[in-house]
Chains A and B, each alone.
Chain A
Amino acid sequence: MKISRILTFLAIVIMIVSCVKDEFNFDDLSKEVRLEREIAMPLIKGELVFEDINNESWDSLIITGGDTIKLYLIDEIEQTDTLPLGELIENLDLEYINLHHSFTNMFPVGVDVHLYLHDSIAGQNIDTIYLSQNHNEILLPPAEVDEDGLVIEELVQLREGVVEFDDEALDNLMERTTHIVFIINVPPTSGLVKILDHYLLSLKLGIEGKGAYTTTLDSNN
């Protein structure tokens, strides 16, 4: 009986030892990680009324019920919003980025939209991404008005487009950009326009892109 128990024990030990394929020590684990991903997602949407764009309160002048406000547009109006990238862009190797945009402009003034790639360390904008096809043209022309100067609302159209980041823009984005500055700009306009209280500028942005994220996992992470 003792002999059979010893033989059984030895058989188990031999079986385990003979089946050992390799010896691992996790000190030898490579900590390099590379993740290649695609992404398609909506980013932001919004509907901006005149106060938003002008960055001042005009409540006292906006009269509801279809009355109009008459404004002389002389100074350039510009509004900005800033998206800090933080560590998002670090270690990222972008293959392509397409920025999809759609706008509806009910204002009887032209509106331009573009992005600045901003380097906060150097304190300067390093690139400008124009959403319009032609950089010399504003993105959204003024809405058409009737003989009374009021916008013909049924003619207001959704304008869609896509901006493909070229290699230079991709390089600037990955290597130096710390913030993306979003600019809505109403260029200097002369004359008189009429703006109803329900006029708005709607915007929607989405991205489609592909890239690879490379990092090294260390014990501190």
Chain B
Amino acid sequence: MRFKLHKNIILIVLVMLSMQGKAQVHTMYYLPVPQAHRLNPATQPGCDFFLGLPVGSSVYIETYNNSISFDDLFWRDPESNLIIHPLHPSQNPEDLLAKFSKENTFATNAYINLLSFGFRVRSLYFTFNATSRLDESFSFPGDLMQFLIRGNSNGETFDLSAFGINSTEYIEYAVGVSRQFGDQLTVGIKPKLLTGVGTLNSRNNNISLYTSYEEWILNSQMEISMSLPGVSYPLNENGGLDLEGEFLVDSSISNPSKWQTLLMGNLGFGIDLGAHYRPIDELELSLSVLNLGYIKWKNYVHNATLDGSFTFDGVEVSINDTSTNFLNNITDTILASLDFTGNSNAFKTFLSPSIYVGGRYFITHKLDVGGLTRIDFTPAGTQASLILMANWRPISMVGLSASYRPFGGTHQTFGLGASLRLGPVNLYVVSDYVPTSYKMVNNFPVPSSQKYFNLRAGLNLVFGCNERKKLMKDKPMYYIDEY
């Protein structure tokens, strides 16, 4: 049995679900929680065993855009005491347009832990985690906003190449092992099996629009690769997408046996690498390389290529045709000119790797300060940032971390993390973007100047955390009160 699913609904859902963000909460790098091994596979949790139950043990959400915040859209006019917006008659829309860059991205990432555990065997520490990961991003060009708000003048060209969508959902099964070599060096490796659920990715976009009173010329090159579970694509005679056709969804996709086939059809592999080195007792240097890998998509695959030029030089009129509908004619003409070619070949998508290089200096065994350099390789380009950090463990059951990113203009952020251990229960919450100002909007606090938000929180069951007991058991003549 099959039913029709409107193509616009698919598109909207995919856009809403989209991402490719920074996807890790760096404030957790030195926080004493088991999940810290996700940022450096060499990190060995302080407890000999931990268990992360489904969903509740670790939930990570991140959303950001690089263009506007609430404060850019709404503010109070001191004269009228009304809340106004950039398109209010008293405002200059150019002020709003200045907020948009050449490429503007809206992204959402959500990771949910399905199961995780880890245990120590002498100098080795093994971890396992299964995580559902959803990464989505949608980008649009600043010139689009210019076109929509300010309009177009004669002879003007708009660069629309920044249009793009990257949306991928997959499940990650990771087995990590970390080993201590003496007192100074710890290295870790975490190979990962990836099973893709669905993806929609655009790339190699080169789109421009020339406008004049004589003609509009749209040049567009774009490649879109997609693997949407259960979706049959409407194709034209060239094997390309037929935008006039219907996307069909196979309702049998909900059958569990079908899902097993689906998940094993889109396989990928990844790896994380890391190391900690302590040349002296007071200093620890760290390096980690995360998310090297790819997924090969084979199920319900389609690769669409748009390569064409469309010139609009007026709606064709017939003097005796009284049914002329200007807008419909334009729409029909544009749709008719979007000629896709395509194929159903398997394709690969690559993870967005990150590199962390950092170090911390132990002022006391309970307090350390340091810095972290983070380099993210995203489809939008390479982004590097410097993060200052402080970590405090006032008692063995409590860990607090703070981070501050001092450079980067709007990227200045202040992060906080806290970990609390009560018996076998370890609670933690951490965010890189703690708001520094709020507006009460309809009695609800809104971090009005924020463009970024991320949060990781969860609950672990931990055992074998009493360092004093362990040390007394192993070497009763020597004890360091460190977690």
Contacts and interface: CB of A to CB of B under 8 A. Distances in A.
Nearest to A29: B83
Given A30-B85, A42-B214, A21 B319 contact: no
Interface residues of A, number: 47
User: Per DSSP, are chain A's interface residues mostly helix, strand or loop, or mixed?
Assistant: strand
A28 interface: yes
B319 A46 contact: yes
Given A45-B315, A206-B314, A40 B84 contact: no
A26 B83 contact: yes
B83 A35 contact: no
B370 interface: no
Given A39-B152, A41-B211, A34 B439 contact: no
Contact of B437 (A21, A81, A208): A21
Nearest to B312: A42
B89 A214 contact: yes
B319 A79 contact: yes
A194 interface: no
A36 B214 contact: no
Given A30-B88, A33-B87, A206 B150 contact: no
Which of B80, B312, B440, B445: most chain A CB closer than 10 A?
A: B440
A40 B77 contact: no
Interface string B420-438: 0000000000000001111
A59 interface: no
B154 interface: yes
A24 B74 contact: yes
A34 B85 CA distance: 10
Contacts of A52: 318-320
A208 B154 contact: yes
A16 B438 contact: yes
A184 interface: yes
Contacts of A28: 76, 81-83
A6 interface: no
Contacts of A21: 437-439, 448
B317 A81 contact: yes
B439 A42 contact: no
A129 interface: no
B434 to A, nearest CB: 9
Contacts of B331: none
22 contacts: A16-B438, A20-B437, A20-B439, A21-B438, A22-B76, A28-B82, A29-B74, A29-B82, A29-B85, A37-B150, A37-B151, A40-B153, A40-B212, A42-B212, A42-B314, A43-B326, A45-B314, A52-B318, A52-B320, A55-B320, A207-B213, A214-B89
Interface of B: 74, 76-77, 80-85, 87-89, 93, 149-156, 211-216, 312-320, 322, 324, 326, 398, 418, 435-442, 445-446, 448
Interface of A: 4, 8, 16, 19-26, 28-30, 32-46, 48, 52-53, 55, 79, 81-83, 98, 100, 184, 204-208, 210, 214
